[in-house]
């Protein structure tokens, strides 16, 4: 009682009490923001085409604000294999198609080496809008990839689940850690469990391998070649799996 009146914080108590209801409202809002997912934007009749149309309106997370457009999956609805990446990159964002930039070119080569036709597989991403940070350097403005956070992956998940439910693939290949952790759980480590078949809710055989972008970023040439070969080997393993 003796010290309270001398404490500077005491002067704030009245104001804090007055603001309390507003603060509680804002905390509830933020919590609800986390709970919002793309479910809110699902079409009534779910087909690849209606999903592709509906996703244009998705605002379930903030990534739609700066990206050019959502990039939905591409490929036949009866594809045996679905490839799942992390998110569209710079070129994908501009063209509105998955895996068409440098990482896509590397994926195309790997698919070819594995004897898989790109137009026979369905290619998609865990997150459908490009997340980036703009940097100005000697070569002008560049948009640098940023890893999507748990909130964005969670918000976007209904699109991927709808794609997998429609296609019902015999095999899912997760390209990179974000896709693998989204399907196998947060503890999944690609460096330890790459190339192993695991049953998931969507498919009897799900396998994780390197993301082509991770291979492109690898500075060590020998390691890069090794990762590229492992990507091809994993694709061959997936393709050769019994039907």
- The residue ranges that bind ligand SF4 (CB under 6 A) are 38, 55, 58-61, 63-64, 70, 127-129, 152, 155-156
Q: How many CB atoms lie within 10 A of CB 200?
A: 14
Nearest distance from C-beta of residue 3 to ligand SF4, angstroms: 50
**Shorter beta-carbon distance to ligand SF4: residue 131 or 211:** 131
Q: Which helix (H) or strand (E) holds 23?
A: helix 13-35
Q: Which is nearer to ligand SF4, 62 or 226 (CB)?
A: 62
Identify the bridge partners of residue 122 per DSSP, sorted by sequence position.
82
Query: Hunting for tokens 């060590």 — which residue is that?
Result: 220
Q: Which residue has the tokens 């429609």?
A: 166
> Considering the complex, what minimum distance in angstroms separates the CB of residue 33 from ligand SF4?
12
**What letter does residue 46 receive in the DSSP assignment?**
-
Tell the smallest beta-carbon distance from residue 214 to ligand SF4 (Å). 21
In degrees rounded to 5, what are phi and psi of residue 117? Answer: -80, 130
Least distance to ligand SF4, CB of residue 28, Å: 21
Task: State which residue, 68 or 200, has the beta carbon closest to ligand SF4.
Answer: 68
- Nearer to ligand SF4 by Cβ, of 66 and 105: the residue is 66
Residue whose C-alpha is closest to residue 58's, from 42, 34, 74: 42
- Which two structure tokens, joined as six digits, stand for 218? 């690898």
Give the nearest distance from C-beta 242 to ligand SF4 in angstroms.
34
Judged by beta carbon, residue 79 or residue 127, the one nearer ligand SF4 is: 127
The answer to whether the CB of 173 falls within 8 A of the CB of 81 is yes
Q: How far is the CB of 41 from ligand SF4 (least distance, A)?
A: 7
Which two tokens mark 75? 């490929």
Residue (127 or 207) nearer to ligand SF4, CB: 127
By the 10 Å C-beta count (0-12 exposed, 13-18 middle, 19+ buried), 113 is classed as middle
């Amino acid at each position: 009682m003796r010290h309270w009146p001398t404490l500077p914080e005491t002067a704030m108590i009245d104001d804090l009490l007055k603001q309390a209801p507003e603060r509680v409202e804002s905390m509830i809002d933020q919590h609800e923001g986390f709970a919002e997912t793309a479910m809110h934007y699902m079409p009534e009749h779910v087909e690849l085409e209606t999903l592709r149309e509906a996703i244009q309106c998705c605002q379930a997370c903030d990534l739609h604000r700066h990206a050019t457009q959502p990039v939905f999956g591409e490929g036949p609805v009866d594809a045996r294999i679905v490839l799942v990446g992390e998110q569209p990159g710079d070129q994908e964002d501009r063209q509105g198609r998955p895996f068409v930039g440098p990482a896509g070119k590397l994926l195309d080569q790997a698919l070819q080496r594995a004897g898989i036709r790109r137009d026979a597989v369905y290619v998609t991403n865990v997150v459908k809008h490009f997340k980036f940070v703009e940097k100005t350097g000697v070569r002008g403005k560049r948009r640098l990839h940023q890893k999507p956070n748990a909130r964005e992956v969670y918000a976007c998940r209904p699109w991927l689940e709808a794609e997998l439910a429609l296609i019902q693939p015999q095999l899912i290949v997760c390209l990179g850690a974000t896709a693998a952790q989204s399907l196998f759980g947060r503890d999944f480590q690609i460096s330890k469990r790459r190339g192993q078949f695991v049953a998931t809710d969507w498919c009897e055989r799900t396998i994780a391998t390197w993301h082509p972008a991770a291979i492109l970023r690898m500075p060590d040439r020998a390691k890069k070649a090794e990762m590229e070969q492992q990507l091809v080997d994993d694709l061959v393993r997936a393709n050769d799996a019994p039907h």
